[in-house]
Amino acid sequence: MAAHGSMRCDLPWGWWLRAEPRGFVDDEENVWSSVRDAFWRGRLGFQSPGEPEHFEMMLRVMTSMGSRQLNPIESKHDLFENSILFWRFYMLWLGSTGLANGTVHDASLTEEGRSALAMLQATRDPAWVDLPMSSVVDAVRMVGQGAAEKAREASIQQFEAQTSRLPWIFSRERVGTRFLITLTGLARDSRMPTKRVFWSQDFAGNVARDDFFGWLAERVERWEDWGEFAYSEGAGALTQRFLQLVIASNGLTGRR
């Protein structure tokens, strides 16, 4: 199955498939078990069905490319665990499929790539939790860059309300004279799972704290991964990873 001739990037990939009792049917009368199956085997040409982790990896990489043009050095550190070979191969492969264009260092999604990303988000399992509106994320990102204090705080509060249902949540805290950011998730090591703080960081004041929260907000699609990393590796390991990523992204106010 080649790229659909009437591709529309405003609709999820596969919008033209017909849902029938026997499966999802394309224009050539091929029958697929799901939209993801049509994409994986029909469009990308794989012989065997895709595994959930294959789709999840593609979703996360394409989200980083489509939402805010993640700094490629940061992407290499976080998504590919500093594997230059894996990172270069994956970027080249995406380009070869027609889902991305540009070079390894400045790849961006094509119209079909944006449509495929919308499909992967819509069909994610477990059920996809909507990320905040890009405009809200952009407003939060402007923390510390001259925005009016009241407008800035309103943007952050709106962002916090929209992320309240995520399984792992970064939150701003004030404990006495201390300004904190905490990471809360579900502890699964007991018979009765409960929410617990797995990571926290003190800041000199509310401005420095909100600067870092803005940096985190830009990367909201990575929160679940960072939460699982803190759960398995510990708070100190997550702090070290954040230090590497902030440096790779040219600091908290670095522009892309």
The distance in angstroms from the start CA to the end CA of the chain is 35
191 backbone φψ class: left, alpha, beta (φ>0; ψ -120 to 50): alpha
Q: What pLDDT sits at residue 198?
A: 96
Q: Which residues contact 228 (CB under 8 A, 6 or more apart)?
A: 168
Q: Which residues contact 256 (CB under 8 A, 6 or more apart)?
A: 68, 69, 70, 71, 249
Listed by start position, the domains of the chain span 18-122, 134-248
Along the 256 residues of the chain, how does pLDDT read in single tens digits?
656 555 666 789 999 999 999 999 999 999 999 999 999 999 999 999 988 888 988 988 888 786 554 566 676 667 776 677 888 899 899 999 999 998 877 788 999 999 999 999 888 866 555 666 666 666 676 655 554 677 778 888 889 998 888 999 999 999 988 999 999 998 877 777 788 999 999 998 988 899 899 899 988 889 999 999 999 999 999 999 999 898 887 777 544 4
Q: Which amino acid is located at 162 in the chain?
A: Q
Token pair for 77: 């550190």
Spatial distance between the Cα atoms of 3 and 223, rounded to a whole number of angstroms: 32
Is residue 141 a contact partner of residue 39, using CB atoms and an 8 Å limit?
no
Q: What pLDDT sits at residue 97?
A: 94
Q: What pLDDT sits at residue 4?
A: 59
Spatial distance between the Cα atoms of 192 and 181, rounded to a whole number of angstroms: 26
Best CA proximity match to 12, nearest among 34, 33, 30 = 34
Q: What pLDDT sits at residue 2?
A: 59
Is residue 75 a contact partner of residue 63, using CB atoms and an 8 Å limit?
no
- Which pTM value belongs to this model? 0.65
Phi and psi at residue 207, to the nearest 5°: -70, -50
Q: What pLDDT sits at residue 199?
A: 97
